Chain A
Amino acid sequence: MKEQEQQLLLEIADDELILGWRDSEWTGIAPLLEEDVAFSSIAQNEIGHARALYELVARARGTTADELAFDRSPDEYRCAPLVELRLMDWAETIARHYLYEKADAKRLEQLKHSDDPEIAGLAAKIDREEAYHRIHAQMWFDRLQDEPRFVEALERLRPQAEALHDSAHRGEHTAELTDLWEEMTVVRRSQPTGTKW
């Protein structure tokens, strides 16, 4: 796999891993019980997609998915600021979910036509699962589209969603990523050398 393709897969994997963590923050405190279930499942899917994407890159680099996911420093991650934000507001969360799923669908469509059969195959698999996220996001969009709080959140986050397609600016992070990274890697960093899980 070419270096450029590895970089692209890492960008997407990092987006999915970090967004998965952010989505999971609603587990137990979402405004509706059914949304607890939905966001927990969506988070699990996103982290699963990250794992599979890291796996392909890890094979090419002779490393492991866990090393790629957890052993880099925060400034080495390639995720976009949109997924890093710790959103405490449901309208903002749904706005990000909607914008992210739109952008993600676009890049998956391109990846499905990759010359590399492994990449195209994985993109097709991920896309089948994302179809359910898109239905969920659209359902919330239809419900909230006339709510000023939601419309404002959409407008505020839209530029960052557009930046998802801009590789040149990846690597610029919000301060919120460092806090998330501390939390996400604490168990792994505390693992004594030689421990087997």
Chain B
Amino acid sequence: MTEAQVWDALAEIPDPEIPVISLVDLGVVRGIDVDDRRVRVEFTPTFLGCPALEVMRDAMADSIRALGAEPEIEVLLDDSWSTDRITPEGREKLRASGFAPPSPRGVAAPTLVQLQSNAHRCPYCGSTETRLENIFGPTPCRSLRYCASCKQPFEQFKTI
């Protein structure tokens, strides 16, 4: 078994909460190590309180077992995942399904002024005439915004 086979298998697993994007697109798979019939995967949660954590871990383990190997999934509890790690393909898939992709991680933490700025583009019509409705949304990783041009509320991936 090769690392590439494992990457391909994990790329088939959808994010449990945003199924348009795969775990590999999301950038949460940090490393794969194949040692004969043992496969070690390092992965990071998006948000620590993400309820999909266990589901993702089990889905990866099942997928590796289906390849005929014994999985070892290590959850990295550090700052190594960032929304900057979402792949360009992943960002496009998010946008196409109505989630505005995250803005790049800055040197400093985001501020209210940045969140309120209308630099955030509407994923439906492309307008930048958008405003922040709520920093928080249906899951920890999303904020709620409203597009004044097409009158459509939309979800914005938070920058982490």
Contacts and interface: CB of A to CB of B under 8 A. Distances in A.
A28 interface: no
Contacts of A41: 136-137, 139-140
Given A129-B47, A131-B109, A132-B110, A52 B137 contact: no
Interface string A24-68: 000000000010011011101111110110011000000000000
Interface residues of A, number: 33
A125 B79 contact: yes
Contact of A38 (B47, B80, B135): B135
Contacts of B77: 52, 55-56, 118, 121-122, 125
A86 interface: no
Contacts of A135: 110-112, 115, 135
A41 B144 CA distance: 12
Contact of B49 (A45, A56, A124, A127): A45
A136 B135 contact: yes
A44 B47 CA distance: 10
Contact of A48 (B49, B79, B138, B144): B49
A124 B78 contact: yes
A2 interface: no
B15 interface: no
A118 B78 contact: yes
A117 B78 CA distance: 9
B49 A46 contact: yes
Please classify the interface of chain A as helix (H, G, I), strand (E, B), loop, or mixed, using the class held by over half of its residues. helix
Contact of B47 (A48, A118, A124): A48
Contacts of B134: 34, 37-38
B18 interface: no
B133 interface: yes
Nearest to A134: B109
A135 B112 CA distance: 6
The 10 closest A-B CB pairs, nearest first, are: A48-B49, A121-B78, A131-B109, A124-B79, A48-B48, A41-B136, A38-B136, A44-B49, A125-B79, A45-B49
Interface of B: 45, 47-51, 77-80, 109-112, 115, 133-140, 144, 158, 160
5 contacts: A34-B136, A38-B136, A45-B140, A126-B48, A135-B110
Given A34-B134, A48-B47, A52-B48, 12 more contacts: A38-B134, A38-B135, A41-B136, A42-B136, A45-B48, A48-B50, A49-B48, A52-B77, A121-B79, A134-B109, A135-B115, A136-B136
